Amino acid sequence: MSLSPARLTEMLDVLTRQYGVPGAALAVWAEGGLVEAAAGVCNIETRVPVTAETLFQIGSITKLYTAALCMQLVEEGKLDLDAPVRQVLPDFAVADGEVSARVTLRHLLNHTSGIDGDYFRDAGRGEDRVEKYVRLLKDVRQLHPMGHMFSYCNAGFVVAGRMIEAVTGTTWDKAVRNRLAKPIGTPSFSTLPEQAMRYQMAIGHVGQPGALAVTPIAYLAQSNAPAGSMPMARARDTIAFARMMMNDGVAANGTPILTAECVHQMHLRSVALPWGMTIDAIGLAAFLWDWNGDQHYEVFGHDGSTIGQAAWLRYHTESETAVALLTNGGNGKGLADDLLREIFSQAAGIAPPEPPAPSREGRPEPARLLGRYGKASGTIDVIEKDGALVAVHTPTAEFAALQGTYAVELQPVTETVFLGTVPGYTRPASYHFLEEDEHGRARYLHTGVRAHPRLG
């Protein structure tokens, strides 16, 4: 393999320093072999070095595991992708009565339910915590009509986790460990702190590069685990999952995990996203990308973020190349951009395309875009300042610990697509102004893979 362990280690060490990332673990499967690298520290206070054995929080990469469990149960006839959730959870309810009655598992797995999914209320730590969380959703409102568009929905995956519990008679934690983690050969995959403490663990760091601090909150709510709040793994553990997906559902140890048809369904485009977003399309939980521009989705995976930790998983089935990067703070997105481009270029002959660039043409009419947009996690005020559009992000009190108030100047790409760089980061985020209301104003601001409807 052209990417030797020494080369990967050197590259990771240089980039973690460049992007202010305290620690990172990297695993690459390419040309029939596994290469691992580690750099930095697990905790800037203890200075314990990261190794290939270190567990990091994988965040929403967990959604691939939850979807895989659902597909197993669909194959067994215990779940139905297109039946109402209430066939399994009769008391399921959100604020919209029609959505409560009609939303399906498919809506949950492809993020089209319209439910405001950033609802991180803590429902406790008992074995009934997922069930309790789902009961709390009764007052959660819609961001958009069910099936109308894609908007990332964490809550939907907790509901899917509860459906798994209802038809298996066990907790989501036990189901994911007994049905996936252990059969794949990754016993270190941990869904609870008492499991993870058997291994060396990384802690998250908050703040901007150069001014980082150990997060005062180690985990998000345990009740949100099916969406990714709790699981921890080694980089090579997520590679093992990717290898199973690249091998038609059969683990590297020969254990059948999913049928080839289930894998195909997870990788099949369910929703195409507007041009310029960081994801090209969504399957069932899986993110889909067309890196070579041939109108065919050839790269799959998921990203994950928790408090002070971020993770990336990408796999290219045609070349059987997979990359897992786990980080614990700083500008991990910048690190991921550089690593993914370099590794896939060398190992698979394919690389992510260049992101959209700002253009001076197509200046928009500010009146159509200005205003307040928002959801349960906070508001975004689009204002005009010194001749430029600025997006002011203000979190609600519950989300202030994750991200404080910040302002981003928006650079136009088209009349409806803008780029803005969050302070402390290098990768611009895309801002999409979608549809029109009765006054000709944008109805939605879609950013951070979430729809924010206009407020008033």
The first and second tokens of residue 263, run together, are: 């894998």
CB 309 within 8 A of CB 56: yes
Strands 321-327 and 442-447: unpaired
Query: Helix (H, G, I), strand (E, B), or coil: what is residue 383?
Result: strand
Spatial separation of the C-alpha atoms in residues 158 and 334, rounded to whole Å: 30
Neighbours of 77 (CB within 10 A): 8
Of all helices (H) and strands (E), which one includes residue 332? helix 332-348
Catalytically active residues are 60
- Alpha-carbon distance values, 2 to 32, 134, 316, 338 (Å): 12, 48, 17, 17
Q: How many residues belong to the chain? A: 456
- For CA atoms 135, 452, 97, 157, the dihedral sign is negative
Residue 371 falls in which region: left (phi positive, over 0), alpha (psi -120 to 50) or beta: left
The first and second tokens of residue 47, run together, are: 């200075």
Spatial separation of the C-alpha atoms in residues 23 and 16, rounded to whole Å: 7
